Amino acid sequence: MGIERLKKEVCRANIKLYRSGLVTSTFGNVSGIDRERSLVAIKPSGVSYESLTYRDIVVLNLDGVKIEGKLNPSSDTKTHLELYRNFKDIGGVAHTHSTFATAWAQSCKPIPCLGTTHADFFYGEIPCTDVISDSGIKGDYELETGKLIVNTFKSRDYDSIKAVLVACHGPFSWGVSADEAVEMSIALEDIAKVAMFTMIINSQSLNIKKSLLDKHYLRKHGKDAYYGQKKG
Ligand SMILES: [Zn+2]
């Protein structure tokens, strides 16, 4: 993929995130990666979505060295880069402080998989990281946040659960592209909201049973997926 194309795609994804209502002010950021060239394109720091154009998008290599762009990259760039270095198949990352997902993150609780809406997108609960240590806060905070996420997925599959809650902070999501990362943020916010209401109505609500989880997740994402329209 050409860099201009990646910058345009990342710009469009950032604007889509803004229009989805999941971000206020300049909070939130989306990035995308060109795996062939190992270049990451990301929203600049503190620039309003209203005035964002693809020319503002900053391009860096995986070590965080700026390759293109006049502006400073998002302050969360090191978290994004840590995800790209460790989750080898992903093509995009999104971060928001969306209300319902952030409420779960602030409660330091994973979002249980209570129903089929959740199971359509994520193959099980959305995990919550540990609370970042004081040394992590004093040190390279955004990099340490990335490491916390990677650590949370040591025993999980980042391909079937494309989101995480960073404890006391908010959600990160990812996908095969910047656009899919945004789609995951939107889906996550919806399931976070429904899960909260479900737990209010019945705090003893149980995780969806395995057979129903499998049915809903695998009919969309399994090797014999049949949901939607055939591609090509
Ligand atoms: Zn944040």
Q: Is residue 100 part of a domain?
A: yes
How far, in Å, is the centroid of ligand 1 from the Cα of 70?
23
Contact between 142 and 75 (Cβ < 8 Å): yes
105 pLDDT exceeds 80? yes
Q: Residue 216 domain-assigned?
A: yes
Mean pLDDT, rounded, for 54-66: 97
Instruction: Return the percentage of the chain with pLDDT > 90, whole number.
Output: 89
Instruction: Tell me which residue range forms the domain holding 130.
Output: 3-221
**CATH number of the domain within which 146 lies:** 3.40.225.10
123 an active-site residue?
Answer: no
Answer positive or negative: Cα dihedral of 157, 149, 29, 59. Answer: negative
Answer whether 0.85 is exceeded by the pTM.
Answer: yes
Name the active-site residue from 130, 140, 157, 227: 227
Which of 120, 159, 190, 214 does the annotation list as catalytic?
A: 120
Q: How far is the CA of 125 from the centre of ligand 1 (A)?
A: 21
Residue 232 domain-assigned (yes or no): no
Token digits for 117?
């809406």
The answer to the question of residue 80 being in a domain is yes
Confidence at residue 25, expressed as pLDDT on a 0 to 100 scale: 76
Residue 171 Cα to ligand 1 middle (Å):
8
Residue 36 to residue 39: CA distance in whole angstroms: 8
Q: What is the pLDDT of residues 187-208, one digit of tens each?
A: 999 999 999 999 999 999 999 9
Question: What is the total count of domains within the chain?
Answer: 1
The answer to whether residue 8 scores a pLDDT higher than 50 is yes
Active site residue 159: no
136/232: higher pLDDT: 136
Q: Which tokens go with 170?
A: 């908010």
Confidence band for 232, pLDDT divided at 50, 70 and 90: very low
**Does residue 229 lie within any of the structural domains?**
no
- The verdict on residue 52 lying in a domain is yes
Amino acid in the structure at residue 140: D
